[in-house]
Amino acid sequence: MDSFKIHENIYLLDSIYSNEDATNIVNHYNSGHFKTPLGNDIYHNFKNNINYWIYCDLREQINEKRYLTLWNHYYQAVEVFYLKNNSLKRIHQVNRFKNFGFLHTYFRLPTWTILPNKNNKIFIRFNNSRSLSSIKLLYQTENQFLKFVQKDTIATTVLVTFLIVLIILNLIFFQKESTTHYFWYGFFIFFNIVDFLAYKGYGPMIFWSESKFLITNFRTIAQCLSIVCLLLFINSFYGKYRINKIIKLCFKICIASNILCLGLFTFEYYTAYFENLKFTIIPFLRLQTLLLIIFHIVLAIKGKIPKYLGLAFSMPLFLVQINFFYNPRVNITINQALIFDNLQYIAVAIEIIAISYFIITEIIKEKHRATTLKKENLILKNNFQENLLKLKTDEKNRLLANVHDSFGGYLEALKLTFSNQNKSTTDKTKIILDAFYTEYRQLLNSLYTPEVNTENFNENLEEFCLKLDKLTPLKIELNFEIKDHVIPQDKCYHMYNIISELVTNAIKHANATNIKVNLIKIKSNILLSVSDNGKGLETNKNGYGYGLKNVTSRTELLNGNLSIISDKKTGTQIQIEIPI
């Protein structure tokens, strides 16, 4: 006999006798009160807290033991009897951890062993905990039963493992994000796992088999918590672009209502005050789910979220409605029954995949936008500083030209006048004038910035250092190893000014006799260094402080790294590594 074929021979005791105990059932059987065929539908409407009796005539004589499995673990109580000598004998339920000799296995559904050639008239008493309950009885050989258990375990394990992996990936991928919406999303997945395990019967079977309240209400509580977490996630993650004030207010009302429902469940747990509280809250949860789906479909139509996300949100409710309104027949295969049994949670898993993918793409887009904006800001900042420095340089050169034109002739005339005077009266004045003239020429040379580029960069630097070498008693040594390399014009400009600043400061403040200027190409960087054998760097002096600020500012513009090594005995070495 096939797994579901026994439904053709199952009859329900007339409802007026439903609450009878086992001692009177044989009389009702002999009186023909088991006359209502159970039919081929899986789902049936039974009243809560009433004992129902069904009679199953197995008819065929079997030569090997069979396993009778009830594919529903949400009955408050189930007992199976067989008819012997005009009385009912109870069949004990098989231990869920059963050793089959060659295989030690675990199964979640209530199962009874039907012995060969004896137990062909079976009576089942059950107490319902839900208004719409399923009666799916499997009558299988040992081999069929083990295959069914294997398939059912694989389906459950795959779904649970998949959802747990999603939680772990959520923790790994989103741990660096400081926002709370990923926290709510993780709990949304967690409560879906809890709901799935409760649906599969692991909760009633392992944790709360003695609690009528939890057997009846736990799934509804898990679904309520799941919707709260989903609403909190959407409210936080979607932002003003997707959620206006009215929708946000509706979400907040739904969250508050769900919290109230959870409070009512807590009150019911301790007081048992309400009757059928679950059946009052379930329609409200379905309404919220429907509103969420409509909301996502509208967002998808408007292009504010991808269409796959709107479709993913629609699938679970659509399948719930199918499950609610469509009553499958018992003549479907085991594989079809397994798919139908897990279909809603497969859709939930697909929904979670779509949400996760959407979150990841949004994070990547946000980071890309932030990176792009940062680059644009840096470009604007550099352009502004470049333009500002250029204006300052142009103004400085214009001022130097005016100073040279205005005072240069007078200084030359003064030198000629004093050179024709009596030596005894002009020695001191001439010394002062020569010193002033030297300082004046040094100032003009150090402040003037020529139009430097890749082609004339080395020549301008050499000319600058040679002029200072002639004007001062110091020895300035040059070492340029970049002649064969192309350097962007903006970098040439800044490096020229950095060397000018550092050499001038060394002449003025270091009391050195030797200055070395090095420019070396190392891989993709240029190493710029200016060193002297003077008295070391005194950063508390105003001149050096101002000069180093200019050097630091230009180094930052070049994305370079500046280091200073200074000693009173050996002098100062300033190195700048500049990427090109």
The domain that contains 86 carries what CATH number?
2.60.40.2380
Residues 247 and 124 in one domain: no
Residues 327 and 285 in one domain: yes
Flag whether 263 is in a domain.
Answer: yes
CA dihedral over 469, 474, 476, 477, signed as positive or negative:
positive
Provide the pLDDT for residue 115: 79
Query: Alpha helices, DSSP H only, in 137-244?
Result: 142-174, 181-199, 202, 212-237, 239-242
Q: Is 178 helix (H, G, I), strand (E, B) or coil?
A: coil
Residues 74 and 119 in one domain: yes
Point out the domain boundary residue: 141, 164, 183: 141
Residues 250 and 303 in one domain: yes
Flag whether 326 is in a domain.
Answer: yes
Residues 179 and 277 in one domain: yes
Residues 46 and 124 in one domain: yes
Angle at 443 between CA 441 and CA 449, to 5 degrees: 105
Provide the pLDDT for residue 543: 45
Provide the pLDDT for residue 528: 92
Flag whether 368 is in a domain.
Answer: no
Distance, CA of 481 to CA of 520 (rounded, Å): 5
Q: 566 and 572 in contact (C-beta within 8 Å)?
A: yes
Residues 166 and 232 in one domain: yes
Flag whether 392 is in a domain.
Answer: no
- Beta strand pairing call for 475-481 and 514-522: parallel
Flag whether 383 is in a domain.
Answer: no
* Residue 358 tokens, joined: 């959407």
The closest of 108, 105, 83 to 93, measured between CA atoms, is 108
The closest of 136, 77, 147, 89 to 115, measured between CA atoms, is 89
Point out the domain boundary residue: 90, 123, 141: 141
Residue-by-residue pLDDT tens, the chain, 580 positions: 445 567 778 888 886 766 777 788 888 888 888 888 877 777 666 776 678 888 888 766 567 788 888 887 667 678 889 888 888 888 888 876 666 655 566 777 888 888 776 667 889 888 766 655 777 888 888 888 888 888 888 888 888 888 888 778 777 766 666 567 778 888 888 888 888 888 887 776 667 666 778 877 888 899 899 999 988 888 887 776 677 788 888 888 999 999 999 999 999 888 877 877 887 888 888 888 888 888 888 888 888 888 888 788 777 767 766 666 665 666 667 777 777 777 778 888 888 888 788 877 877 888 888 888 888 877 776 676 666 666 666 666 656 555 555 455 555 666 666 666 655 555 656 666 666 666 655 555 555 556 677 778 888 888 888 877 777 778 888 888 877 777 887 788 888 888 888 888 888 787 888 999 999 888 888 999 999 988 887 655 544 566 788 788 889 888 899 998 888 888 899 999 998 7
Q: 127 and 77 in contact (C-beta within 8 Å)?
A: yes
Point out the domain boundary residue: 323, 351, 379: 351
Flag whether 387 is in a domain.
Answer: no
Distance, CA of 351 to CA of 315 (rounded, Å): 8
Residues 23 and 112 in one domain: yes
Distance, CA of 218 to CA of 198 (rounded, Å): 7
In terms of phi and psi (left: phi > 0; alpha: psi -120 to 50; beta: otherwise), the region of 478 is beta
Query: At 35, which helix (H) or strand (E)?
Result: strand 34-37
Distance, CA of 296 to CA of 151 (rounded, Å): 35
Residues 155 and 245 in one domain: yes
Q: 26 and 102 in contact (C-beta within 8 Å)?
A: no
Distance, CA of 493 to CA of 502 (rounded, Å): 15
Distance, CA of 54 to CA of 135 (rounded, Å): 11
Q: 96 and 24 in contact (C-beta within 8 Å)?
A: no
Residues 259 and 151 in one domain: yes
**30: Cβ contacts below 8 Å, ≥ 6 apart:** none
The domain that contains 493 carries what CATH number?
3.30.565.10
Partners of 70 in beta bridges:
137
Flag whether 328 is in a domain.
Answer: yes
Which residue range(s) make up the domain with 246?
146-351
The total number of structural domains that make up the chain: 3
Crossing angle of helices 245-271/277-302, nearest 10°?
A: 160
DSSP character for 151?
H
Number of residues in the chain: 580
DSSP-assigned letters across all residues of 417-472: HHHTS-HHHHHHHHHHHHHHHHHHHHHHHHH------TTTHHHHHHHHHHHHHHHS
Residues 307 and 162 in one domain: yes
Provide the pLDDT for residue 506: 85
Residues 129 and 171 in one domain: no
Q: pTM of whole model > 0.95?
A: no
Flag whether 372 is in a domain.
Answer: no
The half-sphere exposure of 170 on its side-chain side, counting CA atoms within 13 A, is 24
